Amino acid sequence: MRALPGCWLRRLSHLALGALAVAANFSLAQDPASPALDESADRSARLVANARREGSLSLYASMAEKDLIRLVSEFERRYGVKVNVWRSGKSNVLRRAVTEARAGRFDVDVVHNPSPEMEFLHRERLLQEVRSPYQRELIPEAVAPHREWAGPRVYVFVQAYNTNRVKSGELPKTFGDLLDPRWKGRIAVEAKEQEWFFTLVREMGEENGLKFFRELVAKNGLTVRNGNALLNNLVVAGEIPLALTLYSYLPEQSKRSGAPIDWFALQPTVAYTDGIGVMKRAPHPHAAVLFYDFVLSDGQALLAELNHVISHRRNERNLRKFDLKFIELDAVLADYDRWTRIFEDTIYGRSGGVSAPTASR
C-alpha cells in the first residue's frame, strides 16, 4: 500500500499513516472464485441464496441520511439481508476504511462515497473488481476502467438561490456576470470543492480562470460554508442568497417540498459521479455484491424518485441538457496538493478576510 499523498494526509491529519509499511494482505491478487467475478447465468440466484446465508453486510457511506435509509430499507425488505450502516462525511468514510484496513481490521464490506475518494481506495488496493451486468447500463463516466467502483449517481454542480431574496430576472447568465456589484456579499461556496474549482479553472483556461476567481473574491467576496446540506439549508433560510456549488438534487428536493429555493446551471457545468465498491477483504462477499448490484439496478429507480441524478443510460437525455464537464480523476489526484492550496488561498482571499467554515463535513 502506497503512502498517502499530502492532501489526503491533511484530511487524515489525526492519524500517522504515511510511514506505515505495506501489508502483505493488500498485495494479494483477487480470488478468482470471488462472487464479484461471477458472470454465470445463475449469478443473481446464487448471490441471493448465499447472501441470505451470510445474513448481513456492513456499509460505510456518506449519502444523505434520509435517502440512505430509504435505499437500505428497500434492500432489506426485498432480500431479508441486514445492512449495518456507518454514515459520516466523505473524508471520515475514507479515513475509517483506510485506517481499519491498515490496522488489519476487515469489518466493512461495501463503501459508497464520491468517486475521488473511491479512486483513492482503488489506489490503496483495498477494493476488488466487480463484473456486474448492471455496469453496462450506466453512462461510461460512471464505471471506473478497472471496475473496482461504479457510480449510481451523477453529482451535477449547480447554482441555487433563495427565491425571496433573488429574482429570476437578476440571475447571472455567465460566471462573468457574478462580478457585477449587485452580488457583493451575497455569494457562497462550499469549502471542500477543490475538484469543482480545478475543473472549472481548467475549462476557463488556467490563467483566465484564476484571474476570474481572484477578482470575484476581491470585488464581491465569498462566504464559505462546510457541507453541501448546510449550504443548501442556508439558502433555504435566506441567509445565503446565492450558492455557487450545490449538488442539483439538494435544492431540487427542497424546492419540491415547498421551500423558497430554485436552481440553475451556469456553463460549463462541472459534474462527477459517486461510487460504490466492494472491499477486497469483505467478510460477507455475497451480500456485498448483491447490495452493489441492487444499488446499480433497482436502487437507481428509488434514487431517481428522491430527485438524485442517476447514471443509468436511460437518463442520458436529461444529462445532455447540461454542458457537463466531468472531473478528470487522474488529473485531479495527480496535482491535488497544489490545487487544494490554490483553491483555499483563492476563496479565503489570501489575506484571511473570508471567515472560516462553521461546520464539519
DSSP-assigned letters across all residues of 248-314: THHHHHHHHTT-SEEEE-PSSEEEEEEEEEEBTT-SSHHHHHHHHHHHHTHHHHHHHHTT--B-BGG
Q: What is the mean pLDDT of the chain?
A: 90
- Among 163, 160, 135, 164, CA closest to 150: 135
Cα torsion 12, 15, 18, 21: sign:
negative
Residue 18 C-alpha cell reads as 504515511
Does position 355 have pLDDT exceeding 80, yes or no? no
3-state secondary structure of 311: coil
8-state DSSP, 284: S
pTM of the model: 0.85
Cβ–Cβ < 8 Å for 200, 185:
no
Domains, the chain: 6-153+274-314 (3.40.190.10), 155-271+321-347 (3.40.190.10)
Q: How far apart are CA 96 and CA 89, in angstroms?
A: 11
Q: Read off the pLDDT of residues 193-235 as tens digits, 9 standing for 90 and up.
A: 999 999 999 999 999 999 999 999 999 999 999 989 999 999 9
**pLDDT band, very low/low/confident/very high, at 317 (cuts 50, 70, 90):** confident
Which amino acid does the sequence have at 280? Answer: K
Q: What local confidence, expressed as pLDDT, does residue 29 receive?
A: 67
Q: How far apart are CA 28 and CA 25, in angstroms?
A: 6
Instruction: Tell me the mean pLDDT in the region 330-359.
Output: 77
**pLDDT band, very low/low/confident/very high, at 28 (cuts 50, 70, 90):** low
Cβ–Cβ < 8 Å for 275, 113:
yes
Q: Read off the pLDDT of residues 31-54 as tens digits, 9 standing for 90 and up.
A: 768 999 999 999 999 999 999 999
